[in-house]
Amino acid sequence: MSTESEATAFMGTHSRVDTTLKAFRLCRVFLRRYQVLVGTAAALTLVLASWMACCGYAGLLPLAVAILIPIIVKAREPAVYCIDHQEFFAPKSWEVSHEDIISIKSSHPNVTEESKDFARRVLTHSGIRSGSALPPNITESLNTGKPWTGTMGDARKEMDCILTQIMQGLLDKTGIKAKQIDFLVLNCSFFNPTPSLSAMISNKFGLRSDCLTYNISGTTHPLFVSLFP
């Protein structure tokens, strides 16, 4: 009976501590998300401390103060963190050898032997390994022998495949729901269609209508920095 009583007491204490920690996390998210004023945060601290004292959690007051003080100090400072990242992994069907690339290039009627030799030298010394990926609209010429195509539709299909995999992988890694996203920044240097790529992702994943989206092309470093002062 003594062992059972101790186990029950331990479970009860663990449950109360877990509930308290969850309350701290909610306070932290609330303060960071809405940039609550220091005065409001201080009032919240007093309310929480009073509640803990009345409910017999007085021993956790130092912990509450230690956790909440840094939150209050940082409440007015906007912060952006890299929680995780996701790379694109091309399907095996996209992979080509160096000779495949030369064959694709050779399908164009204006390609000469001199340009083929130049392409071989570039492939040898540029760091492009055999097995690099090219999109289906280009590799299709290996089967047809016809020149590869590069239409707006081809580019959009390629970006749809890449961005969908990246976005879904990032959501899976972080556990974040699409509806929780407040802003989306998408950068593609050369391809900038209308409707934008950010609109495509917003519609495909069902982002909120008030989600701020930025579709950036070209040199973006100064602009990207200015989005997060």
Domain assignment present for 59 = yes
Domain count, the chain: 3
Pair (70, 96) in one structural domain: no
- Does the predicted TM-score (pTM) go above 0.85? no
Compute mean pLDDT per 10 residues along the chain, 229 residues long, and list them.
Answer: 44 56 64 55 64 61 64 59 87 92 85 87 85 91 85 93 95 92 89 91 95 81 51
Mean pLDDT of the chain: 77
Pair (187, 220) in one structural domain: yes
Domain assignment present for 101 = yes
Q: Which residues of 108-129 are buried (b: 16+ CB within 10 A; e: fewer)?
A: eeeeeeeeeeebeeebeeeeee
pLDDT in tens, 145-197: 888 888 999 999 999 999 999 999 999 999 999 999 998 999 888 888 989 99
**Between vectors from CA 143 to CA 140 and to CA 145, what angle results, nearest 5°?**
90
Domain with 143 in it: 92-153
Nearest to 149 by CA among 88, 20, 158: 158
Pair (23, 56) in one structural domain: yes
Domain assignment present for 158 = no
Angle between helix axes 152-174 and 197-205 (nearest 10 degrees) is: 50
Residue 218 tokens read as 């070209």
Pair (69, 131) in one structural domain: no
Domain assignment present for 213 = yes
Taking the C-alpha atoms of residue 181 and residue 130, their distance in angstroms, rounded to an integer, is: 38
